[in-house]
Amino acid sequence: EEGEEAEEEAEGQRAPMTAIVVVGATGNQGAAVLQHLFAYAQDKKEEGLKLYAVSRDVAGARAMQISTVFAGVQTLQADMENQESLRAAFSKPREDGAKEVRVFVVTTPCLMSGGMVIDPVKETIVGCAMVDALKEASVDHAVFSSVANCDKDNSPECVKSKKPIEDHLKKSGLSYTILRPVTMVEVWDRVHPITSGRVCGMVNGSVSMQWVSTMDVGAVAALSLLDPASRRGETIDLCGDVTTGDEVAQAVSKMRGGEKFTYGVAWVTRIVVWLFASLLFDERVRFPLEGGFKADTKPLEKISASYPACFKRQGPLTYARILLSGGMDKKRLPMSGGVGKALLQLVAGIAFVICACYYLLPSSVFEDLKR
């Protein structure tokens, strides 16, 4: 009996005192959060900290990479659209012996059709259900990544959809921290990659926009999870840079030793989005043209100035710093333009004319054409 008691006591001592669960660990923000948590745990040799990564498909290639890249991180299966699976995932650390459980959560309006359809209403429903799952699992602290200016009337629907989730979290009685990032550079750069001599975007080059790096979002989220008391009950804007498309083109020219880069509007993409994705057009074109995000830049400046050494940087990641970290000063860039792009522009132009005629000309004109 004494041997069994000693064994149970040893197991209790080995059990992690604190568990942190990262939802969306294979996505942009979740992966950044996990990366910073793992770096901190390795640097501080935090034996009392156990990390969990939540993924919808634990057998998928990206989820399988987690255990390879982040040794010791346990992957849990849960679907954002399934409240019971989320509750089970949030409860698992406690079953494993954790005394305290903290969770990073993020939502997306792209839940339907494998992420190809934007549905802000569904995002709100799913986000509120996620908060309910947190409460049911008696989570000790939650960090929710929302979005800047979600409480403003002129914000896009896929921005305002996060405000009800924030309100639901605040009313839940849970300990929380809410982060409000602006447009993320890395996500935008994948949609509009920089090509030889050209920087593209959805709006005019003189339009000023606010930016933040997913890495800074991950860093601040990680710190808020590691030390909940320091930011408990706070709602924090995250903005690392304010710049225009023309200024980005000038910065790239300087990085590449004087190679000339100009900024231009990606008209093909803009027209296609206008025709077939009104919510996305509202977010990527209408909103920036009307002033865009107006987030406070001071919180990130203050927090990033005292990043721990294991994060390997100080200060917010500006647009230029992000490009440099990706090798923009040296890497070979794809050629811009070409016959293929010209054909696409032609097709888009024809589609634009047809749709414009359909919406602007009287119906009698089309009846005459049919006859």
- Please determine, for residue 362, whether its predicted confidence score (pLDDT) is greater than 90: no
276 vs 268: CA distance, rounded Å:
12
| Mean pLDDT along residues 127-139 | 97
The 10s digit of each residue's pLDDT in 239-274 is 999 999 999 999 999 999 878 999 999 888 888 888
Token couple for 58: 């634990």
DSSP state of 38: H
Cα–Cα dist 253/257, whole Å: 7
Token pair 């993409």: residue: 269
Distance, in Å, from the CA atom of 114 to the CA atom of 270, rounded to the nearest integer, reads 22
Average pLDDT, the chain: 87
Alpha-carbon gap, residue 49 to 43, rounded angstroms: 12
Which pLDDT tens digit goes with each residue over 291-312?
A: 999 999 999 999 999 999 999 9
Q: What is the pTM of this model?
A: 0.86
Query: What is the tens place of the pLDDT at every residue in 98-122?
Result: 999 999 999 988 754 455 567 899 9
What's the mean pLDDT in 314-321?
A: 94
Chain segment 62-101, per-residue pLDDT in tens: 888 998 899 999 999 999 889 999 999 999 999 999 999 9
The C-alpha atoms of residue 334 and residue 186 are separated, in whole angstroms, by: 18
Q: Specify the pLDDT at position 12.
A: 47
Return the DSSP state at 87: H
Joined tokens for residue 142: 């939650």
CB 74 within 8 A of CB 51: yes
Q: Under a CB-based contact definition with an 8 Å cutoff, are residues 268 and 182 in contact?
A: no
pLDDT at 8 over 80: no
| Share of residues in the chain with pLDDT > 70 (%) | 84
What percent of the chain lies above the pLDDT cut of 90? 64
Q: Indicate the Cα dihedral angle 260, 261, 264, 268, nearest 10°.
A: 110
DSSP, collapsed to helix, strand or coil, labels residue 138 as coil
Report the range out of 113-117, 138-142, 280-284 with the highest average pLDDT.
Answer: 138-142
Q: How confident is the model at residue 288 (pLDDT cuts 50, 70, 90)?
A: very high
pLDDT in tens, 30-64: 999 999 999 999 998 877 899 999 998 888 888 88
How is residue 280 written in tokens? 């996305």
pLDDT at residue 113, as a whole number: 43
The larger pLDDT score, comparing residue 237 to residue 6, is at: 237
Query: Which tokens go with 309?
Result: 């050494």
Give residue 187's pLDDT band: very low, low, confident or very high (50, 70, 90). Answer: confident
Q: What is the pLDDT of residue 334?
A: 82
The number of CA neighbours under 13 Å toward the Cβ of 291 is 7
Going by the DSSP 8-state scheme, the letter that residue 230 receives in this structure is G
Q: Which two tokens stand for residue 18?
A: 């604190």
